[in-house]
Amino acid sequence: MLQIPCPWCGIRDESEFSYGGEAHITRPLNSENLTDEEWADYLFMRKNTRGAFLEQWQHAQGCRRWFNIQRDTVSYKISASYKVGEQPPQGMGNEK
């Protein structure tokens, strides 16, 4: 079982968490002015990274807070855990 480090509660089993998808996706300003293609890009287009990837998780069975982790999608190794609003680990930008 995957062990996930919650920034508030410490390391817990994966069964306590809910996956929230790719981290650092920001809702566009003035979304009513977007074309259908731009809106679809925001809603559906996500990275499919092999290797280090930034994800958001919720500690659903604990503190219920959202946070981000950096996880390797090949080895499943989690190398960083940080609160929403904090910067991702060095070298992990949010560029598309």
pLDDT digits (tens, 9 = 90+) for 37-56: 999 999 999 998 999 999 99
CA–CA gap between residue 4 and residue 39 (Å, rounded) = 32
| Domain-wise residue ranges, the chain | 43-87
Regions in the chain scoring below 50 on pLDDT = 94-96
Q: What is the pTM of this model?
A: 0.84
Return the structure tokens found at 2.
């995957």
CATH 3.40.50.300 is the classification of domain 43-87: no
Cα separations (Å) of 2 from 43, 80, 90?
28, 14, 23
